[in-house]
Amino acid sequence: MKKRRYLQTVPGEVIGLRRPTLPARLLEALEESVGRAHAVVDPEICAQFETDWTGRFRGISAAVVRPGSTAEVAEVLSLCSAAGVPVVPQGGNTGLVGGGVPMGGEVVLSLRRLTYIGEVDDSTGQLTVGAGTTLGALQQHLAPLGLETTMDLASRDSATLGGMAATNAGGLQVLRNGSMRSNVTGIEVVLADGSVLSQLRGLPKDTSGYDIPSMVVGSEGTLAVITQVRLRVGPANDNRVVALLGTASLHDAERIASRLRNEMENLRSAEIMERTTLLLVAARHGLPALFGDDTPWVLLIELSGRQAAGVTTDQLSEELTFKVAAEAGRITDSAIGSGGTDLQRLWSYRELIPETLAALGTVRKLDVSIPPGGCPGFVSAARDLVGRIAPSARLHVFGHLLDGNLHLNLLGVSEKDGDGLDLSVLELAVSLGGSIGAEHGIGRAKSHLLHLVRSPEEIDLFRSVKRAFDPMSTLNPGVLIPS
Ligand SMILES: Cc1cc2nc3c(=O)[nH]c(=O)nc-3n(C[C@H](O)[C@H](O)[C@H](O)COP(=O)(O)OP(=O)(O)OC[C@H]3O[C@@H](n4cnc5c(N)ncnc54)[C@H](O)[C@@H]3O)c2cc1C
């Protein structure tokens, strides 16, 4: 592997770091290919592409290049690859594992200008979008057509469909529609050498060999750069009802959620949160504080359905109220709402958690997958570990309960303690049969821990696949696959 031979370091504009400079001829060629305004070396402009959303991963780039078409992406990659220059693909930069920031002086390839939105094909319920289209922009585009995306995330206004495919994002509707891999039906990518592979037909059935879209989805920018994504969309669920259900234990919340899943076909989301976290959200955003001290856990349930299919809001409300009454012994308090403002207010307790915690300091985030029924045991053991390894740390747990996907957010942990803590908590998740990454990916944060869930044979196979796609290893070196 060629190791950043090209870099000529000069005193950098970022304190303590040295900004690499590209060979003048390469920079000129990049400017020619994407236009001078879109091949940027100005440190002030580059800065917004160099730090991740959490502020924990801060790098420095040789340049930020913003192509406006697949052809330009191909040209940029071909130029960088010929010069042995590593590239970090970047979408909305909302990733939480440091996979989209230039930690080794790479060129940042920002895909945000690829914002094409194609027509919906009524016969398949699919459409093709540019990789830089944000989820929120697609949702706004679909709403007047009576359609909606099958995926949803709190980061919708910045996260791009290309980034979501690259991370195999999950989110708030996995329960009903699966994660990104289940919703991508085709993909267009550019390989490191500039060749374009297009598989955008979206055939419902195709058994003609290896499935390139599913190989690239979840590869975190290490195999190819995604330029277009073909996606399933669905008819809008125009009637929605949300409930916040307080419980005395995580075990009770899990029992209620499982029962609702088994009994209610309109269940769309089941999110778990801690009341202590919600008090912080309420204080920061001027929302009413919820429930009493006897309620450490809050379960958010959403039911949704289509008017055209005969599902009304009244019917959903009645159904939910009936189920809540049936679970009265396990529910300490509740709030139910339907209709625009109420829905937004109840969801805001959940959706404002990441931003509220981020405002309190740098958050160390662990995203784990736990087998069904295992969440209460995991949380209690993880709390013990945090108390032992980093006693001054504050742990906030929330997540997608019925997916067994918990997000552990740690405040007040030093980088030194943090490494030991990550290892112990992730080992715990694996010992229970879970995984070290549920929906955020491995990125740079956890590549050194991949061996906890993947055998040496699997990691060797990952390396072989990577070599086949990207023989010079110029795409996102250091991400996902341990060096
Ligand atoms: C408030 C908040 C809430 C969130 N909620 C969720 C959630 O519920 N579920 C969830 O799964 N995630 C969630 N996330 C994480 C994040 O939004 C997702 O990982 C999202 O998929 C990242 O998209 P992005 O465009 O921001 O990608 P980036 O952060 O820019 O990149 C992420 C990774 O993908 C690669 N990449 C980006 N674009 C491309 C491309 N076009 N081609 C190849 N590789 C590419 C990058 O190199 C990097 O490795 C949340 C984040 C925040 C800040």
Q: Is 300 helix (H, G, I), strand (E, B) or coil?
A: strand
Task: Identify the sign of the CA torsion 429, 59, 193, 200.
Answer: positive
Structure tokens at 366: 């662990």
CA of 154, closest atom in ligand 1? 3
Q: Are residues 368 and 429 in contact, defined by beta-carbon separation less than 8 angstroms?
A: yes
Complete DSSP assignment for 108-155: EEE-TT---B---BTTTTEEEEETT-BHHHHHHHHGGGTEEES---TT
Q: Which amino acid is present at 278?
A: L
Structure tokens at 72: 């330009």
Q: Are residues 65 and 180 in contact, defined by beta-carbon separation less than 8 angstroms?
A: no
- Rounded Cα distance between 289 and 280, Å, is 9
Q: Is 468 exposed, middle or buried (CB count within 10 Å of its CB: 0-12, 13-18, 19+)?
A: exposed
Q: How many whole angstroms from 307 Cα to the centroid of ligand 1?
A: 33
Q: How many whole angstroms from 160 Cα to the centroid of ligand 1?
A: 7
Q: Is 178 exposed, middle or buried (CB count within 10 Å of its CB: 0-12, 13-18, 19+)?
A: middle
pLDDT of residue 8: 34
Structure tokens at 40: 């940027």
Q: How many whole angstroms from 166 Cα to the centroid of ligand 1?
A: 8
Using alpha carbons, list the distances in angstroms from residue 99 to 191, 260, 295, 463.
18, 36, 37, 17
| 429-462: burial string, b at 16+ Cβ within 10 Å, e else | bbebebbbbbbbbbbbbbbebbeebbeeeeeeeb
Q: How many whole angstroms from 184 Cα to the centroid of ligand 1?
A: 15
Rama region for 443: left / alpha / beta (φ>0; ψ in -120 to 50; rest): left
Q: First vs last Cα of the chain: how many Å apart?
A: 11
Q: How many whole angstroms from 310 Cα to the centroid of ligand 1?
A: 36
Q: Whose CA is nearest to atom 8 of ligand 1?
A: 171
- Rounded Cα distance between 423 and 436, Å, is 10
Structure tokens at 440: 């955020």
Site to probe by mutation for ligand 1, drawn from 72, 107, 153, 161 as the one with most ligand atoms within 8 Å of Cβ, is 153
CA of 227, closest atom in ligand 1? 41
Q: Is 65 exposed, middle or buried (CB count within 10 Å of its CB: 0-12, 13-18, 19+)?
A: buried
CA of 52, closest atom in ligand 1? 29
Each residue's pLDDT, cut to its tens digit, for the chain (483 residues) gives: 334 433 333 333 344 467 888 999 999 999 999 999 999 999 999 999 999 999 999 999 999 999 999 999 999 999 999 999 999 999 999 999 999 999 999 999 999 999 999 999 999 999 999 999 999 999 999 999 999 999 999 999 999 999 999 999 999 999 999 999 999 999 999 999 999 999 999 998 999 999 999 999 999 999 999 999 999 999 999 899 999 999 999 999 999 999 999 999 899 999 999 999 999 999 999 999 989 989 999 999 999 999 888 899 999 999 999 888 888 889 999 999 987 788 999 999 999 999 999 999 999 999 999 998 999 999 999 999 999 999 999 999 999 999 999 999 999 998 888 999 999 999 999 999 999 999 999 999 999 999 999 999 999 999 999 999 999 999 999 999 998
| 260-271: burial string, b at 16+ Cβ within 10 Å, e else | beeeeebbbbbb
Q: Are residues 350 and 273 in contact, defined by beta-carbon separation less than 8 angstroms?
A: yes
Site to probe by mutation for ligand 1, drawn from 73, 90, 442 as the one with most ligand atoms within 8 Å of Cβ, is 90
Q: How many whole angstroms from 161 Cα to the centroid of ligand 1?
A: 9
- Rounded Cα distance between 320 and 70, Å, is 47
What are the residues facing 259 on neighbouring strands? none
Best CA proximity match to 162, nearest among 130, 136, 186, 191: 130
Q: Whose CA is nearest to atom 52 of ligand 1?
A: 155
Q: How many whole angstroms from 382 Cα to the centroid of ligand 1?
A: 26
Q: How many whole angstroms from 90 Cα to the centroid of ligand 1?
A: 9
CA of 95, closest atom in ligand 1? 29
pLDDT of residue 2: 39
Q: Whose CA is nearest to atom 39 of ligand 1?
A: 163
Q: Are residues 189 and 121 in contact, defined by beta-carbon separation less than 8 angstroms?
A: no
pLDDT of residue 195: 97
What are the residues facing 200 on neighbouring strands? none
Q: How many whole angstroms from 96 Cα to the centroid of ligand 1?
A: 7
CA of 172, closest atom in ligand 1? 8
pLDDT of residue 6: 36
pLDDT of residue 151: 95
Residue 353's CB: how many other CB atoms inside 10 A? 23
Ligand 1 is surrounded, with C-beta below 6 A, by 53, 88-96, 99-100, 111, 131, 153-155, 158-160, 162-164, 166-167, 169-171, 220-221, 225-226, 354, 439-440, 443, 476, 479
Q: Whose CA is nearest to atom 44 of ligand 1?
A: 221
Q: How many whole angstroms from 181 Cα to the centroid of ligand 1?
A: 14
- Rounded Cα distance between 141 and 118, Å, is 10
Q: How many whole angstroms from 165 Cα to the centroid of ligand 1?
A: 8
Structure tokens at 177: 């529609």
CA of 219, closest atom in ligand 1? 44
Continuous segment of H or E residues that includes residue 360: none
